[in-house]
Amino acid sequence: MPDAKSTMMDMHRSGAPSSATVGTARCLSYNLGSVRKAIRLCVEELPDMQEVFRGAHSVLLKPNLLSSTRDPEAHINTHPAVVQALAELLKEEFNCEVAIGDSTGSLGEGSTARAIENSQMDRAAQAAGATIYNVDTQPRHVLRFPAGRIFKDIPLPSNLDQFDLIVSVSKLKTHTLTYVTGPVKNMFGLVPGAGKKQAHLLAPRLEEFSTVLCDLYALLHPRAAFVDGVIGMEGRGPASGALRHVELIAASCDPVALDSFCAKVMGFDPLSIPLLAQCHERNLGVAAPGGIVVRGEPVSAFAPKNFAKPPTDGQAAITRVLPRWLFRGVLKAISSRYADIDQGRCRRCGECARNCPSQAIAFDERTRRYSVNRRRCIACHCCTEVCPSDAVRMQSAWLRRLT
């Protein structure tokens, strides 16, 4: 991984990318042979990716391992067949050393190790001859990134520079906070453990959190990305939505462009998504669909009818224009969203409380229930992401329901 200074100098010299290419392949199932064929076809469609792979020696594949408890059939995490097929290709065709690594969404002790086991990434790594890189168990440092707009001191593994190529391997899903989760947001999993909580506290609103994600992406700037969209998730993603067969494997050397393509598949205008709009404005990639060349089948070949959007579809317009101090003040109580726990569904596991950045969730010994302090809740959606029983929902205060 390049250092912060050289990353920004290279981006400045290259200027705004004018176009990008996305390769697509239809894949009907997670049968390993079918996935291998689709992965290979995507790479064959992208000569620039072949060049990147030929120049790489040590590669980190970064899947989305949001859930530490669910198996591959839940389709919350990147499917292990996709990661295995890509690792095999890198090793066999390009002679790369490959590692597979992430930090899961849960902050429970040993949660990333459990995510690696339950997602079967350990089996995929063993089958492909790759190694496991548990982000949470690596030595850490805080990297100063002056070019960041909000995220200027970024906690990362201090040995991340052992990899000369990072490949984002994300899952096609909606997201109740950021609209979609794709190759760009997937980089957040390289922030170890509690560092993710601190980032949410630093940036509680959608636009601010999008800036944090954009800052991190600007620093890491992965040069290749794949999306597992064989089975995607609609509605209340990234963990509690409905599954949809999209039959898509896609790749690009511009992760922003790949994110944009997938947003179109899910029915979004990519430039209406704050994270992608910021990436485009900061010259980090091509988000405008008109600048994206598709090799393989187009968006229309994969886009399901009536793909369900997240129930919030972003934050209400009034909170976007409020000054930061006012948002955090009196009007926050009537204009913001807050988490609410369905006591009938709740298993009392404590995942929501352990993962709440603002410590808004606590266990009441008298009632033997977890409850949410609405004044402390920053609506970061961390609790909804990690709840294994889908017991946490975001509720709207009355002013939001009027907008």
Cis peptide before 238 (omega within 30 of 0): yes
Among 283, 282, 280, which residue's Cα sits nearest to residue 271? 280
Mean pLDDT of 231-247: 97
What is the reported pLDDT for 323?
Answer: 59
Who's near 31: CB < 8 A, 6+ residues apart? 81
User: Percent of the chain scored above 70 by pLDDT?
Assistant: 88
Tokens 């006591």 appear where? 343
Does residue 223 register a pLDDT over 80?
yes
Confidence of residue 402 (pLDDT cuts 50, 70, 90): very low
- CATH hierarchy code of domain 317-397: 3.30.70.20
Tokens 């089975």 appear where? 231
Q: Which pair of structure tokens corresponds to residue 325? A: 């101090």
Pairing relationship of beta strands 165-175 and 20-26 according to DSSP bridges: unpaired
**Helix 195-202 with 206-220: angle, nearest 10 deg:** 130
Tokens 């994969």 appear where? 302
Contact (Cβ atoms closer than 8 angstroms) between residue 139 and residue 157: yes
Residue 373 CA to residue 354 CA, distance in Å, equals: 14
User: Percent of the chain scored above 90 by pLDDT?
Assistant: 80
Q: Locate the domains of the chain by residue range.
A: 4-302, 317-397
Does residue 85 register a pLDDT over 60?
yes
Does residue 219 register a pLDDT over 70?
yes
Contact (Cβ atoms closer than 8 angstroms) between residue 309 and residue 174: yes
Pairing relationship of beta strands 292-295 and 20-26 according to DSSP bridges: parallel
pLDDT in tens, 94-133: 999 999 999 998 888 899 999 999 999 999 999 999 999 9
Q: What is the residue-averaged pLDDT of the chain?
A: 90
Query: Which class is domain 4-302?
Result: alpha beta
What is the reported pLDDT for 109?
Answer: 87
pLDDT in tens, 316-331: 444 555 555 555 554 4
What is the reported pLDDT for 122?
Answer: 98
Contact (Cβ atoms closer than 8 angstroms) between residue 134 and residue 121: no
**Beta-carbon neighbour count of residue 390 at 10 Å?**
14
Does residue 6 register a pLDDT over 90?
no
What is the reported pLDDT for 381?
Answer: 85
Residue 85 CA to residue 226 CA, distance in Å, equals: 12
Residue 10 CA to residue 251 CA, distance in Å, equals: 23
